[in-house]
């Protein structure tokens, strides 16, 4: 079990209002983010990744609500606080200084009427991190420089629309980093970018995590992003964590049929794009009554039990867990060393 935890999400449930009823879209998940670690949360569109992210800093849309669980924040002093229970004013204080967030489309979070430098400076002023306006401006220029904005002093006066998508994402990262947060939540930050810019932005996020000894929760549907950035990864399907492991271990020994499907649908050089692998099948229609594994209607390995009973998270090796009756029990004796034994990873899962 890891000692150096930063955020421990336990049994988090997020529900949305549907025809006067609350329907869970995140179903009691456990995620641990250790200090100085990039944790990936991967899964296809609609599986509940953004709802998870937005519940951390209380920015869920009005139709969604946290209906269960806790989010324990471990201060460096040793004090622990449940940020899920914080009042609006208290969580706002933490956003920017403890927790910062970047999104897929920076234009939706940037003010089009204000120059980028002043927008970043506002973070410093609001959180009273710098009282002197001139010094604040100098810090912003320095930050623009460190996120790779050329001619930062001149670009301070630029408006968001004058910048390219990649540059706007760099501005968002500068705005996120200016308060030296301990956790960066990045929700599909490179999905709207071309591959070259994507690689540059991923490299920048990695560098920022190292320079600022910061942790990150990297949300993506792209296994390529996971492999280039994350230390540890959680695989989510329909609001449930299906598998979790150190990244190298997950790529070497994927056990859940869904994880295997995600990995085999990565386009590879030389493959005919017309024959891209897909995951066939449907999701259960009556989700409320269905008690089995939600992936079983798309699974080729399923057994009778899968249809009637959701699997627990089976422990496969020290930090590798899988929620699958077939591969979980079959691999329970698997004892290979993890690739990077020096690092202690999250073992938030409940043992099966």
Ligand X SMILES: Nc1ncnc2c1ncn2[C@@H]1O[C@H](COP(=O)(O)OP(=O)(O)O)[C@@H](O)[C@H]1O
| Binding footprint of Mg ion on the chain (CB under 5 A) | 50
Residue 26 beta carbon to ligand X: minimum distance, rounded to whole angstroms: 7
When the beta carbons of 50 and 55 are compared against Mg ion, the nearer one is 50
Mark the segment that binds ligand X (CB under 6 A) among 43-51, 162-170, 176-184, 302-310. Answer: 43-51
The verdict on 104 binding ligand X (CB under 6 A) reads: no
When the beta carbons of 50 and 244 are compared against Mg ion, the nearer one is 50
The verdict on 31 binding ligand X (CB under 6 A) reads: no
DSSP state of 147: T
DSSP H or E run through 38? strand 38-42
The verdict on 283 binding ligand X (CB under 6 A) reads: no
What distance in Å separates the CA atoms of residue 91 and residue 71, rounded to the nearest whole number? 12
Residue 188 beta carbon to Mg ion: minimum distance, rounded to whole angstroms: 6
The values of phi and psi at residue 99, to 5°, are -125, 130
Residues forming a β-bridge with 233: 40, 245
When the beta carbons of 48 and 261 are compared against ligand X, the nearer one is 48
The verdict on 45 binding ligand X (CB under 6 A) reads: yes
When the beta carbons of 50 and 327 are compared against Mg ion, the nearer one is 50
| Structure tokens given for 302 | 């399923």
Within 8 A by CB and 6+ apart from 298, the residues are 257, 258, 261, 279, 280, 281, 282, 283
Q: Which does 163 bind (CB under 5 to 8 A by kind): ligand X, Mg ion, none?
A: none
Find out whether 236 and 42 touch, Cβ atoms under 8 Å: yes
The verdict on 60 binding ligand X (CB under 6 A) reads: no
Residue 53 beta carbon to Mg ion: minimum distance, rounded to whole angstroms: 8
Pick from 25, 167, 176, 306: which binds ligand X (CB under 6 A)? 25
Mark the segment that binds ligand X (CB under 6 A) among 44-52, 104-112, 137-145, 264-272. Answer: 44-52
When the beta carbons of 16 and 66 are compared against ligand X, the nearer one is 16
The verdict on 202 binding ligand X (CB under 6 A) reads: no
**Neighbour tally for 350: CB within 10 Å:** 13
The verdict on 29 binding ligand X (CB under 6 A) reads: no
Q: Which does 143 bind (CB under 5 to 8 A by kind): ligand X, Mg ion, none?
A: none
DSSP state of 335: -
With vertex at residue 200, the alpha carbon angle to CA 198 and CA 205, rounded to the nearest 5 degrees, is: 95
The verdict on 49 binding ligand X (CB under 6 A) reads: yes
Q: Which does 51 bind (CB under 5 to 8 A by kind): ligand X, Mg ion, none?
A: ligand X
Total chain residues near ligand X (CB under 6 A): 10
When the beta carbons of 50 and 259 are compared against Mg ion, the nearer one is 50
Region for residue 305 given its phi and psi (left: phi exceeds 0; alpha: psi -120 to 50; beta: otherwise): alpha
Q: Which does 47 bind (CB under 5 to 8 A by kind): ligand X, Mg ion, none?
A: ligand X
Closest CA to 191 of 222, 216, 237: 222
Within 8 A by CB and 6+ apart from 140, the residues are 117, 120, 121, 124, 156, 174, 178
Interstrand relation of 232-237 and 215-220 (parallel, antiparallel or unpaired): unpaired
What is the rounded (10 degree) CA torsion for 262, 265, 267, 271? 150
Pick from 6, 12, 16, 174: which binds ligand X (CB under 6 A)? 16
SS3 34: strand
The verdict on 241 binding ligand X (CB under 6 A) reads: no
When the beta carbons of 47 and 141 are compared against ligand X, the nearer one is 47
DSSP H or E run through 195? helix 195-211
The values of phi and psi at residue 279, to 5°, are -100, 115
Residue 39 beta carbon to ligand X: minimum distance, rounded to whole angstroms: 16
Residue 187 beta carbon to Mg ion: minimum distance, rounded to whole angstroms: 6
The verdict on 223 binding ligand X (CB under 6 A) reads: no
Closest CA to 201 of 165, 251, 175, 244: 165
The verdict on 58 binding ligand X (CB under 6 A) reads: no
> Residues in the site for ligand X, rule: CB under 6 A?
16, 25, 43, 45-51
């Amino acid at each position: 079990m890891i000692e150096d935890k930063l955020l421990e999400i336990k049994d988090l449930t997020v529900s949305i209002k549907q025809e006067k009823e609350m329907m869970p879209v995140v179903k009691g998940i456990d995620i641990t983010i250790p200090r100085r670690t990039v944790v990936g949360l991967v899964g296809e569109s609609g599986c509940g990744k953004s709802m998870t992210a937005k519940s951390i800093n209380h920015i869920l849309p009005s139709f969604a609500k946290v209906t269960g669980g806790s989010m324990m924040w471990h201060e460096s002093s040793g004090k622990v606080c449940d940020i899920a229970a914080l009042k609006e004013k208290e969580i706002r204080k933490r956003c920017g200084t403890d927790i910062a967030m970047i999104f897929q489309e920076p234009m939706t979070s940037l003010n089009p009427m204000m120059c980028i430098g002043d927008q970043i400076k506002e973070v410093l002023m609001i959180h009273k991190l710098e009282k002197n306006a001139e010094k604040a401006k100098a810090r912003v220029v320095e930050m623009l420089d460190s996120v790779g904005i050329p001619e930062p002093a001149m670009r301070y006066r630029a408006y968001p629309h004058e910048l390219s998508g990649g540059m706007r994402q760099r501005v968002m990262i500068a705005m996120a980093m200016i308060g030296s947060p301990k956790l960066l939540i990045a929700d599909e930050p490179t999905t709207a970018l071309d591959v070259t810019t994507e690689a540059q932005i991923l490299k920048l996020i990695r560098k920022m995590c190292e320079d600022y000894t910061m942790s990150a929760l990297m949300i993506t549907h792209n296994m390529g992003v996971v492999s280039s950035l994350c230390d540890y990864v959680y695989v989510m399907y329909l609001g449930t964590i299906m598998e979790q492991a150190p990244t190298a271990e997950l790529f070497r020994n994927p056990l859940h049929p869904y994880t295997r499907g995600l990995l085999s649908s990565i386009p590879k050089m030389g493959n005919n794009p017309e024959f891209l692998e897909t995951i066939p099948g449907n999701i259960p229609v009556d989700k409320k009554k269905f008690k089995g594994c939600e992936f079983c209607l798309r699974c080729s390995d399923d057994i009778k039990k899968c249809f009637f009973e959701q699997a627990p998270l089976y422990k496969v090796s020290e930090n590798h867990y899988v929620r699958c009756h077939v591969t979980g029990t079959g691999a329970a004796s698997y004892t290979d060393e993890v690739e990077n034994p020096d690092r202690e990873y999250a073992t938030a899962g409940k043992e099966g």
